[in-house]
Chain A
Amino acid sequence: MVQSKKQKNLFLAFCLVPTFILFAIFTLYPLFSGLYYSFFDWSGSSSNSEFIGLDNYRRLISDAIIPQTIWHDYFLVITKVFGIMILAIFFAVALTQLKIKEAPFYRVVFFFPNIMSVVVIGILWTFIYNPSLGLVNSGLEFIGLESWTRPWLGDQDWALPSLVLPSVWAGIGLFMLLLIGGISNVSKSYYEAAEIDGANQWQQFWKITLPLVWPQIKISILYIVITTLNGSFIIVQIMTGGGPNNSTHVMGSYLYQQAFVQYNFGYGATIGVMILILSLLTVLILQFFMKREKVQY
């Protein structure tokens, strides 16, 4: 090696330093200073920010909307995990185990909503739920269930559940592909052996497919949980804005409202800290419970 140690370090610095500085300024610093601001009463300009210790956290605990937002977030997490996983597993098995000629077509179609903009998804589904023009109500009328029609997104009890369907609709494709990847790595010989032993499709699914793709299932569940806790507020913001009467506010949309609509930046940061802690805790707990032994046959 001809290059000197100094030249080597210079090259290393060239590769790493500019990127890291920008990353520190635009990602690390905001996160830590978010923590810091959660101890301030702060409405924007630097002159009127006042250190108030844990007051924001006391406010957080006594804010009646906060428990609702947390519940709404976890409601979306749970319904999305079940909705997406059941359908994604079903589709993945159907497209790999049963020799369907047009399987690639389904794959391409089912994945597409994953790369659609949340704005487009949100607005399209707002239309589907539209009380007078929407597909849901027209469909219900068509099959004679007029009493079931309602202004879905304007109904306090139904607005939140109505947000689940678009999220499932938009999410399935990715997890289906993840699982297809897992299933196609399972050796054919297991299924052949099971076939000889007289196991039917259903038994093969429970005894072979499911245990062997458990790593992919685990990753999928974790990924759904993380992306929901960190990002569910986007579709909420577009479809309902948190309404009607706060019935769809999730933690992130409430943060947006507090910080960027009402200019309570300190309190907004406190909500942000709560989101951070809850999402890290949830991931840790989930990882603990899903630590199922890796199956090997």
Chain B
Amino acid sequence: MKKKWQPTLIRTGIRIPLILWTLAVLYPIIWMFIGSFKSNAEIYANPWGLPETFNIQNFADAWNNYNIDTSVFNSAIVTVLGMALTLVLALPTAYALERLRFRGSNILFTVYISAMMIPMVLGWIPLFFLLMDFGLLDSIIGLSIVYAISQLPFSIFVLTSFMGTIPKELEESASMDGMSPYGILFKIIAPLSTTAIITVSIMNAIQFWNEYFMALIFLNTREKYTLGLAIDFISSEAQYTNAWGTLFASLTIAIIPVIILYAIFQKRIAKGMTEGAIKG
């Protein structure tokens, strides 16, 4: 008899920490959503409760008076440009590293992969002056390039390991039929790697959309601010203006695209991130 009820008891007991952690994760996020619909008076009077009426004044304020519209636009450009550039740069290299044996291919692969473990802060100081010389400082284009290069190692890593699973016969027969290596890369390998390409692109997009520190260093005028910087700016101003509702509204604006992506691609994102970590 003992055997029968014991697992059930353990299972019920184990649910308590699981449920507590679920609350710990969800509550601050839900609270942020709720806070974005509250007036300032309500936030002070009842910081953790529900609003009396849902008003969207905070969103309008953030959008019109705090430059969030420009920042959303800037972040979107950085994300899309960075994503496209990473792909254009990573795909041919990944193919060459995985399929074309050449002298030094292992060394080159190691160079790219070890860049994932190197703290880039050291490089940011010279990079700052390099961008200045190129006229790419305080520029959305410049930031997109920096982003794209920063995600190259990860993207090359995921793409090569995926291409390793594509059977070689297809390329061989295409080559027999006289297809050029360019054709093989773009007409055979690229479509077959769609899964990996999508995974890599989603991961990079989230990364670029969320990024804060490089933007902090490489951008300085408010019209160029990406979302992270704009929110940080509102947050530090809120100490004096107490515009907490506006702050929550802009946090909500920043997080919604990520939630949508996660809702659609949850499995891929989780897989992409664990794979990226395993390389270590």
Contact = CB atoms under 8 A, between A and B. Distances in A.
A261 to B, nearest CB: 11
A89 interface: no
Interface string A15-40: 11011101101111111011101000
B209 interface: yes
Contact of B212 (A7, A30, A117, A174): A117
A41 to B, nearest CB: 14
A15 B96 contact: yes
Contacts of B130: 25-26, 29-30
A116 B210 contact: yes
B28 A124 contact: yes
A108 B265 CA distance: 11
A95 B21 CA distance: 13
Interface in A92-130: 94-95, 98-100, 106-120, 123-128
Query: From DSSP, what is the main secondary structure of chain A's interface residues?
Result: helix
Contact of A135 (B44, B48, B89, B102): B48
Interface string B13-24: 011011001101
Contact of B210 (A35, A37, A111, A117): A117
B108 A98 contact: no
B11 interface: yes
A113 to B, nearest CB: 6
Contact of A222 (B92, B111, B280): B280
Kindly state the interface size class of chain A when it binds its partner.
Answer: 35 or more
A259 interface: yes
Contacts of B235: 123, 126
B124 interface: yes
Contacts of B41: none
B44 to A, nearest CB: 7
A135 B35 CA distance: 13
21 contacts: A15-B95, A19-B92, A20-B108, A25-B130, A30-B126, A34-B123, A98-B10, A100-B15, A110-B25, A114-B273, A118-B228, A128-B28, A133-B43, A134-B47, A138-B48, A172-B21, A219-B278, A230-B118, A275-B121, A276-B118, A279-B119
